[in-house]
Amino acid sequence: MLQDYQTALVTGASSGIGAATVTKLCERGLEVHAVARRSERLATLAESTGCRVHTLDVRDTDAVYATFGDLKIDVLVNNAGLGRGFDTLAQASREDIERTIDTNVTALLHITRAVLPGMLERRRGHIVQLSSIAALYPLLSALYGASKGAIHLLSQNLRMELQGSRVRHTEICPGRVKTEFFATAIDDSERQQSMLEGFELLEGGDVADAILYALDTPWRVNISTIEMTPTEQAPGGIVIEPTS
């Protein structure tokens, strides 16, 4: 339960799901380390919540280990992520591929690796990975889906590695959320807007509430996977493209 934890580390904390999670964890009395690239956003968050801020790019592996390797972190929320090359793999640039995989997969692995040994030594901790329904269902974004699919299998396999350690692990798989994700994933402004319309999207606070639910269950309970979507979004099904 949250009362068993003292410290938390949240990546991608400057907006959306990350900022909402930092706020809720601070309200519950944890010392929260908030990580993001935008220092001004972090300063505002620190002023409103009292969190401790770290301005860095999670892809900077040296900075990750130097900053977090010695911290005693009880709760890790790996929220940082993006979706460059979101349209199709054929249209993605080499930079899109590298940036998406480096952020969504490689950085997440290193941050987890940086804090996990301490959790194992103390026999206390909870890791939360922000995944996506793109990890569970075919969607029209091969690159982004591949990055989140990697997190899904990592989550399942890491749960097996953690058996007997008293460290819990949760994967959160949201559908469409009203955040800045599409502003960075899609270059076309009209298409960006279209992704935010048509039905009522999840909000960052909704996902943060799911994270806190998983963290706040009794120790005997591990919430392994949470799939959550807007009420009017139903993933799955078959899409048949007409041939010419």
Q: In the annotation, is 144 catalytic?
A: yes
Following CA atoms 65, 30, 202, 92 in sequence, which dihedral angle do they give, to the nearest 10 degrees?
-10
Q: Is 44 helix (H, G, I), strand (E, B) or coil?
A: helix
| Contact (Cβ atoms closer than 8 angstroms) between residue 161 and residue 117 | no
Q: In this structure, is the dihedral angle defined by the CA atoms of residues 7, 12, 14 and 15, taken in order, positive or negative? A: negative
Q: Is 101 helix (H, G, I), strand (E, B) or coil?
A: helix
Q: What are phi and psi of 120, to 5 degrees?
A: -65, -40
Tokens of 228: 């959550």
| End-to-end CA gap in the chain | 57
Instruction: Kindly name the residue from 65, 137, 144, 213 that is annotated as catalytic.
Output: 144
Q: Is 5 helix (H, G, I), strand (E, B) or coil?
A: coil
SS3 sequence of 177-215: EECCHHHHHCCCHHHHHHCCCCCCCEEHHHHHHHHHHHH
Following CA atoms 32, 38, 44, 47 in sequence, which dihedral angle do they give, to the nearest 10 degrees?
40
So which residues are the catalytic ones?
144
